[in-house]
Amino acid sequence: MNQQQKPTQRNDVPVIPLGPRRGGGPMAGRMNAEKPKHTKATLFRLMRYIGKNGWLLLALVFIMLAVTGADLLGPFFQAKAIDTIYIGACGHLHVDFDAMKGYLILMGVIFVCSAVLSYFQGVLSAKLAQGTVRTMRNDLFTKISHLSIGYTDSHRHGDIMSRMTNDVENVSNAISQSVTALFSCVLTLTGALVMMIYYSPAMTLIALVTIPLSIFISSKLAKFMRKYFIRRQKLLGQLNGQVEETVTSYKTVVAYGKEAESVEKFGGISSELRTCAVKARVWGSIMGPIMNFIGNLQYVLVAAAGGWMVLNGRGVTIGSIQAMLQYSKKLTHPINQIANQYSSILTALAGAERIFEIMDQPDEVDEGTRHFAEENFVGNIEFKNIQFGYVPGEPVLKGLNLSVKPGQKIAIVGATGSGKTTVVNLLTRFYELDGGEITIDGVNITELPKEELRHLIAIVLQDTVLFSDTIRNNIKYGHPEATDEAMRAAAAMAKADLFIDRLPDGYDTKLAESGSNLSQGQRQLLAIARAVLADPKILILDEATSNVDTRTEMHIQEALVALMKNRTSLIIAHRLSTIRDADVIVVIKDGKVAEAGNHDALLAMNGEYAKLYSNQFAGIAT
C-alpha cells in the first residue's frame, strides 16, 4: 500500500484540513539536513519553464541577434574610419573625409538601432521573466494544494511560504536580468571570435591565452561560493517561519512571558543569516574584479602584440589593432558579465532548487476509483485491526477495532496522545493506514476517491478555521451552491444568527485573517453553521463547544442534537460532561479500544472511563 508522508509526531495532534495551519511542523528543525540538488539539473528544469513562453523567447532571441550584430559591426566600421587616416608616399598625413563621413554615419545609425532594439529587448525580457514565474508560481501553488497532510504537517509553513514568495522572486529577477545576458554572451563570444580571426589569427591566439585562466578561476570560485547561497536561502526560510510562528502565536508568547526568548531566537537566526549573507555577497563580489583583471591583462597582451606587428610590417593596420582591442574586450566582457551577475544567478538557482524540491514531492495518494452513491448511504463504519504510527516503529494505534452503527453518536475518549484524533484522521484519509482497513457500508475507503469520501464528512474542530472573506462565503464554504435561505437557516440552527444580525454588514461582514475580528465563541458558531449547511452523512466533532460560554454551549448542544439526528456522528471528547448522552462511549488506551458502552455502564465497570471521569470531576487535568 502506498503511504502518505508522515510527520515525526509522537502525540495525537489534530490536523486542520480546511485552511492554513499555524506554527511550524514537527520536522522543522531538520531543514539543515536538506541536500541541494545538482546545478545542471536545476538549470535544465528552469530552462524548460522559460521555453514554455515560446514566441516570447523566439522574439527575444531574434532581437538579441540584431543587437549583437549591431554591437559587432561598431568596431568594424570604427576600424574602417580610423584607416581613412594614413601617411602618404611623401610622409604627409592624408584623410579621406568622404569615406570617414560615410563610416561615421553608418556607426551612428548602428548605435541608434542598437539603442532602440535594446529597449525592446528589455521589454521582452521582463515579459518573459514574469510569464515564466507566473507559470512556476501557479504550478507551485497547485502542487502545495495537492501535497499530503503529512508533508504540510512536517514542514514549517513560513519556509513553504518563503519558497512561494522570496525564492520565486529571486528566479524572476535572474530571468529578467541574467537569461538575456547569457544568450547575449554566447552570441557575442561567437561573433567576437569570428571577427578577431578575420583580422588576425595570431593576435586571436594571444587573446585566447587568458580564457582558460578565466574559466578555471570562475569554476573554482563558483563551487566555493555556491554553498553560501544555498545556506542563505534556507536561513531566510527559517527566519520567515520564525516570524510566522511568533505572530500567529503571539498571545501564547505574551501569556508565558516568552517575548525576550522569542526575540533572542529570532536574533540568532537573523545573525546567522547576516553572517552567511555577508560571506555570499563578499565572495560573489570577488568574481567581478578578478575577471576584470584578467580582461585587462588580455587587453595589454593584444595591444603589445599588435604594436609589434605594426612596427615589423606584418600587414596589420592601426584600425585593425583598434578593432582587435574592441573585440578582445567583447570576448572577455561576457565572462565578466556572468561573473558580476553570478551572485544573483546562484541565488536564483538556490531558490529554484527549493521550489523544485516541493514540486518533486509525491501528491496525496488517491487511488480510489469506486463511485459511492450518497442516496444509498446507510452509515455502517467499521475499523478493523487498525495499525498506524506517525513514526516508523512507534505505533499509535495497535490493532484497534471499532464498529459504528447507522445514526449512532459515538464518543471517543482517552488520555492525551492515546490516538483519539488519529482515528478521525484515518477515517478522512488525511493519513494512510499501516495495516487493517476502514469500511463504510462494506466499502473499503481506499477504493473511494478522496473527494467523494470527504464530501460525506463534515468536521467541526476545536480550533476553528475561517478565511479572510465574508461571513456568507465562510458558511457556504462546504456548500457553495446553497441558497441564502438555506444559509440563514443553518446560521439560525447553529445560533450564529444572533450575533450576525447585530453586525453592521450582517452576512456580508468581511472577516479578518482567521476571523480574528470575532470572539472565539462566535468563530465556533460559524464553523458549526458551516457544518450544518454542508448536510453531511458523517459528522465529526472535536470538542465543538469548548470555546464558548456555558449559556451559548447549551444553545449549541441543542443545535448539535438536531444536527446529529439520523446521522452517524463521531465526537472526540475532552470534557466528559458533554458526552454523557452518547450512544456509545469508546475509551482508547495503548492504541486499542479498552472499554465501550454508555456513560452509566462504563461508570459501573469502574475501569478506565471511571478513572478519567473521576479525575476530571475532581478538577484534575488528564
Q: Which pLDDT belongs to residue 367?
A: 78
CATH of domain 39-359: 1.20.1560.10
CB 584 within 8 A of CB 408: yes
Judge whether 585 and 598 are in contact, CB under 8 Å: yes
Decide if 393-456+538-544+568-622 and 462-535 have a common fold: yes
DSSP state of 391: B
pLDDT tens digits for 463-506?
778 888 898 999 998 888 889 999 999 888 888 888 888 888 89
Is the pLDDT at 13 greater than 70, yes or no? no
| Pairing state between β 435-440 and 93-95 | unpaired
Query: What is the residue extent of each domain of the chain?
Result: 39-359, 393-456+538-544+568-622, 462-535
Q: Mind listing the pLDDT tens digit for each residue in 183-242?
A: 777 788 788 888 878 877 887 787 777 777 777 777 777 777 777 777 887 888 788 777
Please list, in sequence order, all residues whose beta carbon lies within 8 angstroms of the beta carbon of residue 532, skipping any fewer than 6 positions away: 490, 493, 494, 559, 563
pLDDT value, residue 439: 92
Which pLDDT does position 336 carry in this prediction? 63
pTM: 0.62
Give me the pLDDT at residue 149, please.
Answer: 80
Strands 592-597 and 584-589: antiparallel
In this structure, are residues 354 and 167 in contact, taking their beta carbons and an 8 Å threshold?
Answer: yes
Cell numbers found for residue 61: 532571441
Residue 568 DSSP symbol: E
Specify the residue for cell string 488506551. 589
Q: Burial code of 269-300, b = ≥16 C-beta within 10 A, e = fewer?
A: beeebeebbebbeebbebbbebbeebbeebbe
pLDDT at 546: 62
Mean pLDDT to the nearest integer, 385-394: 87
DSSP state of 178: I
What mean pLDDT, rounded, does the chain reach?
78
Q: Is the pLDDT of residue 445 over 50?
A: yes
Could you give the CA distance from residue 49 to residue 51 in angstroms, rounded to a whole number?
5
Task: Answer yes or no: are the C-beta atoms of 557 and 496 closer than 8 Å.
Answer: no
Q: What is the dotted CATH code of the domain comprising 462-535?
A: 3.40.50.300
Question: Which residue in this structure is represented by grid cell 519556509?
Answer: 159
- Inter-helix orientation angle 318-340/259-311, to 10°: 170
End-to-end CA separation in angstroms for the chain: 36
pLDDT band at 438 (very low <50, low <70, confident <90, very high): very high
**Helix orientation angle between 318-340 and 342-359, rounded to the nearest 10 degrees:** 40
Helix pair angle (201-208, 318-340), 10° resolution: 30
The CATH class of the 393-456+538-544+568-622 domain is alpha beta
286 phi-psi bin (left φ>0, alpha ψ -120 to 50, beta other): alpha
Cα–Cα distance, 77 to 322 (Å, whole number): 11
- Residues near 464 by Cβ (< 8 Å), separated by ≥ 6? 515, 520, 523, 524, 526, 527, 547
